[in-house]
Amino acid sequence: MELGQTVRPIRIEVFKSEEACSRFRARIWVQNMYNLYPAYINTGPQGQDLHQVHSSDELNQDITYIVEDPAFLEGVEFESEGAFVESLQAHILKYQKAINAN
């Protein structure tokens, strides 16, 4: 998905109820890049911060909480899986706008 000026991978897992074909729930993750500077090997003899060695990792952050409807956790009724995913995309874009505003 395009989120603002960047393209970020979003993972959406959709679960369909076995009892009710029109009931869906989902988990949502966004991929973030984290740059880490291990303290022990980046500290010089006089305690100075060297920032010479770092590790970059891509981690998936669970953002399912952005859907504020408590019924969402139990499953919600939608006419189709496509309509359900479209509603999730609207929540994701709202989440991204809130992040960019800060």
Residue 12 CA, distance from chain mean position: 9
pTM of the model: 0.68
Q: Where are the domains of the chain?
A: 2-32+62-101
Q: What is the DSSP code (8-state) at residue 73?
A: G
How many helices and strands (H and E) does the chain possess? 1, 6
Tens of pLDDT, residue by residue over 10-66, are 888 999 998 888 999 999 998 887 777 776 777 788 888 777 777 778 888 898 888
